[in-house]
Chain A
Amino acid sequence: NAGVTQTPKFRILKIGQSMTLQCAQDMNHNYMYWYRQDPGMGLKLIYYSVGAGITDKGEVPNGYNVSRSTTEDFPLRLELAAPSQTSVYFCASSYSIARGGGLVEAFFGQGTRLTVV
């Protein structure tokens, strides 16, 4: 059972380039998330999805796009890379929402360290 798998682990981009960060989970979770982690800032939510075909913006969506065509995959797209997007990106998934709407647990991938130069 692989859990949440992110690829690549590391990437260096030039300003203006584009790339897709891949995220796949094999736990049949409906809920998936993309967070970015910056030093001293904790993790900030970029986008999330509550099921295949449904996505929504999080706290810091500018400069990113997502799609969710299958339950398993939730790729994050950077169209025009900027130095401000230098960060560590984490994908997460969760398997259920408790009665009343609360999160039960989120499972995280190992992260993708992205540098934009």
Chain B
Amino acid sequence: AQSVTQPDIHITVSEGASLELRCNYSYGATPYLFWYVQSPGQGLQLLLKYFSGDTLVQGIKGFEAEFKRSQSSFNLRKPSVHWSDAAEYFCAVNPGSSNTGKLIFGQGTTLQVKP
């Protein structure tokens, strides 16, 4: 069955430090890949997405993600974290052949930023 795993439930980093959030997926072909962010009490906002082409994708708020086919991973990175980045982050995949737009989400990673 298709699945998405975010191994880290909770991560704490200091402001200004670099960040990497891990995401692994289980799917036979290359799916469409997404990272969403959810601030407290808010809906989900798209950070970035990968469909094909360059495996390093740039998103909003200074985030980037790298698709690695050999590792079935799509890790999210940011060189220098700001206090406003504290939120919950979700990796999601859409099987490209589904024709329905359904998303399969990982469990989420909560990011805490220390001053």
Contacts and interface: CB of A to CB of B under 8 A. Distances in A.
A10 B48 CA distance: 29
A42 interface: yes
Contacts of A102: 31-32, 51, 94-98
Interface in B32-90: 32, 34, 36, 42-46, 49, 51, 90
Nearest to B49: A105
B96 A100 contact: yes
Interface string A79-108: 000000000001010100110111101101
Contacts of B92: 43
B102 A33 contact: yes
Contacts of A92: 44, 103
Question: Which of the four size classes fits the interface of chain B?
Answer: 20 to 34
Contact of B108 (A40, A109, A111): A40
B101 A100 contact: no
Given A41-B107, A42-B90, A108 B97 contact: no
A58 interface: yes
Most buried by B among A4, A106, A111: A106
A43 B89 CA distance: 12
Contacts of A110: 42-43
A22 B22 CA distance: 34
Given A40-B9, A42-B108, A98-B51, A103 B103 contact: yes
Given A98-B51, A109-B43, A45 B103 contact: yes
18 contacts: A4-B43, A40-B107, A42-B4, A42-B6, A42-B108, A43-B105, A48-B100, A90-B44, A94-B101, A97-B100, A98-B32, A101-B100, A102-B94, A102-B96, A102-B97, A103-B102, A105-B34, A105-B46
Interface of B: 4, 6, 9, 31-32, 34, 36, 42-46, 49, 51, 90, 92, 94-108
Given A101-B97, A106-B101, 19 more contacts: A35-B103, A40-B108, A41-B107, A42-B6, A42-B105, A42-B107, A43-B92, A45-B104, A48-B101, A92-B44, A97-B99, A101-B96, A101-B99, A102-B94, A102-B96, A103-B102, A105-B34, A106-B46, A109-B43
